[in-house]
Amino acid sequence: MNRSPNNVTIDLSALKDNLIKIRELVGKKTKIMGIVKSDAYGHGLIPVARELEKNHIDSLAVDYLSEAIKLRNAGVNIPVVILLGIGTPQEAKKVAGYDLIPIIYDIESARILSEVGKRSGRAVKVYLKIDTGMGRLGIDFRETGLFVKQLKEMNGITIEGLFSHLSSADEQDTLFTNAQIENFKKAIYVSRRLGLKLTMNSLANSAGIMRYKKSHFDIVRPGIILYGGLPCPDFVNPPSLRHVMAFYSRVMQVRNVEHGTSISYGRTFFTDTSRKIAIISAGYANGLSRSLSNKGGLLIHGQKARIIGRVCMNLTIADVTGIKGVKKGDRVCFLGKEKGNAISSDDIARWADTISYEVLCSLGSRNDREYIN
Ligand X SMILES: Cc1ncc(COP(=O)(O)O)c(C=O)c1O
The CB-nearest residue to ligand X is: 223
Minimum Å gap between C-beta 63 and ligand X is 8
Would you say 104 or 300 has its CB closer to ligand X?
104
Q: Looking at residue 99, what DSSP letter applies?
A: T
Q: Does 223 bind ligand X (CB under 6 A)?
A: yes
Q: Which residues contact 328 (CB under 8 A, 6 or more apart)?
A: 251, 252, 253, 254
d(CA 210, CA 24): 11
Nearer to ligand X, 57 or 224 (CB): 224
Q: Tell me how far, at minimum, the Cβ of 207 lies from ligand X, in Å.
A: 6
d(CA 293, CA 297): 10
| 37 is an active site residue | yes
Q: Does 360 bind ligand X (CB under 6 A)?
A: no
Number of residues that bind ligand X (CB under 6 A): 10
Nearer to ligand X among residue 242 and residue 295 (C-beta):
242
Spell out the residues 6+ positions from residue 72 whose beta carbon is closer than 8 angstroms to its own: 80, 98, 99, 100
Subset of residues 184 to 213 that bind ligand X, contact rule: CB under 6 A: 205-206
Piece of the chain touching ligand X by CB under 6 A; list 221-229, 233-241, 245-253, 328-336: 221-229
With CB under 6 A as the contact rule, the residue among 83, 123, 299, 349 that binds ligand X is 83
DSSP state letters, 208-265: HHHH-GGG--SEE---GGGGT--SSTT-SSPPP----EEEEEEEEEEEEE-TT-EETG
Contact with ligand X (CB under 6 A) among 34, 42, 133, 222 = 222
Q: 172: burial class by Cβ within 10 Å (0-12, 13-18, 19+)?
A: exposed
Q: Is 249 in the site for ligand X (CB under 6 A)?
A: no
Catalytic one of 37, 125, 129, 276: 37
List strand residue ranges (DSSP E) for 12-58, in order.
Answer: 31-35
- Does position 216 bind ligand X by CB under 6 A? no
C-alpha angle 249-253-256 in degrees, rounded to nearest 5: 130
Using the rule CB under 6 A, is 221 a contact of ligand X? Answer: yes
Q: In angstroms, what is the minimal distance from the CB of 138 to ligand X? A: 10
Is residue 42 part of the contact set for ligand X (CB under 6 A)? no
Q: Which amino acid is at 232?
A: C
Question: Which residue is catalytic, options 149, 152, 197, 265?
Answer: 265
265 catalytic residue (yes or no)? yes
What is the full DSSP assignment across 132-196? SSS-SSSEEGGGHHHHHHHHHT--SEEEEEEE---SSTTSS--HHHHHHHHHHHHHHHHHHHTT-
Helices (H) and strands (E) in the chain, counts: 11, 19
The CB-of-37 to ligand X minimum distance in angstroms stands at 7
83/308 with CB nearer ligand X: 83
Indicate the SS3 state at residue 334: strand
**Whole-number Å distance between alpha carbons of 214 and 121:** 37
Residue number, 83 or 305, with CB nearest to ligand X: 83
- For residues 138 to 167, the per-residue mask of contacts with ligand X, x marking binding by CB under 6 A and - elsewhere, is ---------------------------x--
Q: What is the set of active-site residues? A: 37, 265
Give the binding site for ligand X (CB under 6 A): 35, 83, 165, 205-206, 221-224, 231
